[in-house]
Amino acid sequence: MSKHRMGGQTLYLTQNPPKIISRASIVGKKEGEGPLAEYFDKIIEDDLWGEKSWEKAERRMLIETAELTLRKAKMEPRDINYLFGGDLLDQIVTATFAARSLGIPFYGLYGACSSMTQTMSLAAPLIDGGYADNVLCVTSSHFCSAERQFRYPLEMGVQRPPTAQWTVTGAGGVLLSSDGKGPCITHVTTGKVIDFGIKDTNYMGAAMAPAAADTIRAHFEDTGRGPNDYDLIVTGDLAKYGRKLTIDLLKKDGYDIEDRFIDCGCEIFYESQDVHAGASGCACSAVVLAGYLLRKMEDGEINRILMASTGALHSIITSQQGDSIPGIAHAVAIEKKG
Amino acid sequence: MDSLDVKQKKINKEYQDYANSLSPKSKVFKNCMMAFIVGGLICTIGQLINNLAKIYYGMNKEEASTITSITLIFIAALLTGLGLYEKIGKRAGAGSIVPITGFSNSIVAPAMEHKREGYVLGVGAKLFSIAGPVLVYGISTSVIVGLINYFFVK
């Protein structure tokens, strides 16, 4: 039995818990008009950002976010042992093309919108175990590139149901290091793929909520902690109805998290911005973490959070063939020490 | 194993019912009214073009119908290109999908979207990605109706 495991799904990082020494976020125009605008490093002026396609614009956002994250820590790509990245596009092309530019040893990861904490979940034990000193974790999504891949062409005049979500245009990155100053990642709880049979691709919050609830519950059971041990419990992109479902599912298990539970999908946009249930996408939890949450930790307003990005692991083909939407959530506990 | 499946199915069913009860229903009445007004407006514009063509340009019934379709398709394509049709569609729903303008929108939108993948494999291959099913079943239905008419009517 490994010394560093707690319960069935959690790692306890005790030897040299990785510190988040740098962070950066770039977002689109609409996100820049939302309530968190002041927390982002850069707001791009339009969806194309001077590039020939949305895919290229997304790629550039990811590359610039990575470079900015490094610059803030006064590091070069050669100082970084691993780059972990993910995005929503087929064959995770945004992350791989970004890795081509950056020239850092790379693992591309697909966890749909759970990518942010998925990358951190794998980077953190590498550092704690002494296998790496600096690992860069980046993820991105783009409303236009996601919309055309998963739904309709943008110019199609179609109505969206009230439970639909709006993919965040943006990229977020964090640099984990064995050395330096910043909040530590102390626990990693790996999620299981959970599927309660939701098939509606316009109701992703409901598809992912059982996974979020399962991972948070597993974290509490494994660590012996409870909601009161955290200042904030954060999920990725469950949006309005998914958030409510998660609260209710956890209540059934005896955990009341409602008073300290936020969902990134409910934070990025104002209701007046016509995004229906809320935001989604890899960038959703990435920019809220890298922009807003870590800044609040720096300012000392919050000291310990449990962050669980959530992902819907379906494809267009599986959905068209009538399969339900499997969900996943990976949690990391982030704590400000000293 | 079977009993576990049954148990999971029950949990799934309960969960799905609860999730659906949380989800607000689309505003059917408002959407129907908007669809009625916008769809009616588009058809009225079509009738106007039709009448103008007949009265001022002396076209016969067939010519006037053709010019009406062409004009409506052009206007919808232009509005799609300017990014306005999408905004109308968001409010009007079926009102702007059902008339011939919706067909125009469903061809121009993928054409614009896939231009970046080239004119053959992008625009050419994806042009009918949305209108395709309408064409397939529209033409199929007309063939069946035609056959019925040929063999059984008269």
Distance in Å, alpha carbon of A64 to nearest chain B alpha carbon: 23
Q: Does any CB of chain B come closer than 8 Å to the CB of residue A148?
A: yes
Distance in Å, alpha carbon of A197 to nearest chain B alpha carbon: 6
Strand partners, A175: A22, A136
A53, A148, A157 member nearest B90 (Cβ): A157
Closest CA to A292 of A253, A263, A332: A263
ipTM of the complex: 0.87
The letter for the amino acid at A100 is R
Contact A170, A140 (CB under 8 A): yes
User: Taking CB atoms and an 8 Å limit, are A160 and B24 in contact across chains?
Assistant: no
- What does the pLDDT read at residue A338? 63
The pLDDT > 90 percentage for chain A reads: 94
- What does the pLDDT read at residue A157? 84
Distance in Å, alpha carbon of A198 to nearest chain B alpha carbon: 7
**Backbone phi and psi for residue A27, each to the nearest 5 degrees, phi listed first:** -130, 170
Q: Which residues of chain B neighbour A206 with C-beta distances below 8 Å? A: 16, 19, 22-23
Q: Does any CB of chain A come closer than 8 Å to the CB of residue B154?
A: no
Q: What is the pLDDT of residues A257-309, one digit of tens each?
A: 999 999 999 999 999 999 999 999 999 999 999 999 999 999 999 999 999 99
Over 90: is that where the pLDDT of B86 sits? yes
Over 70: is that where the pLDDT of B1 sits? no
B15, B81, B86 member nearest A156 (Cβ): B86
Q: Is the dihedral of CA B126, B132, B135, B140 positive or negative?
A: positive
Mean pLDDT of chain B: 92
Q: Where are the domains of chain A?
A: 5-177, 184-335
Over 90: is that where the pLDDT of A23 sits? yes
- CA geometry: angle at A330 spanning A92 and A281, to 5°? 45
Over 80: is that where the pLDDT of B2 sits? no
Q: Which residues of chain B neighbour A214 with C-beta distances below 8 Å? A: none
* CATH no. for A184-335: 3.40.47.40
Q: What is the pLDDT of residues A209-245, one digit of tens each?
A: 999 999 999 999 999 999 999 999 999 999 999 999 9
User: Taking CB atoms and an 8 Å limit, are B113 and A210 in contact across chains?
Assistant: no
The answer to whether domain A5-177 and domain A184-335 are alike in fold is yes
Can you list the alpha helix ranges (DSSP code H) found in A46-92?
A: 54-72
- What does the pLDDT read at residue A1? 65
Instruction: Say if pTM beats, i.e. exceeds, 0.95.
Output: no
CATH class name, domain A5-177:
alpha beta
Q: Which residues of chain A neighbour B105 with C-beta distances below 8 Å? A: 155-157
Q: Does any CB of chain A come closer than 8 Å to the CB of residue B80?
A: yes
B12, B83, B97 member nearest A155 (Cβ): B83
Pairing of strands A170-177, A304-312: unpaired
Task: Describe the crossing of helices A93-102 and A54-72 by its angle, rounded to 10 degrees.
Answer: 50
Q: How far apart are CA A45 and CA A197, in angstroms?
A: 40
Q: What is the pLDDT of residues A189-201, one digit of tens each?
A: 999 999 999 999 9
| Residues B63-72: contacts with CB under 8 Å, at least 24 apart | B69/B100, B72/B42, B72/B45, B72/B46, B72/B99, B72/B100, B72/B101, B72/B104
Which has the higher per-residue pLDDT, B98 or B81? B81
Q: Does any CB of chain B come closer than 8 Å to the CB of residue A317?
A: no
- What does the pLDDT read at residue B3? 64
Over 80: is that where the pLDDT of B154 sits? no
Over 90: is that where the pLDDT of A65 sits? yes
Q: Does any CB of chain B come closer than 8 Å to the CB of residue A150?
A: no
Could you count the other beta carbons within 10 Å of the beta carbon of residue B87?
Answer: 13
Distance in Å, alpha carbon of B114 to nearest chain A alpha carbon: 9
Over 90: is that where the pLDDT of A159 sits? no
Locate the chain B residue with the closest alpha carbon to A196. B12
The pLDDT > 90 percentage for chain B reads: 84
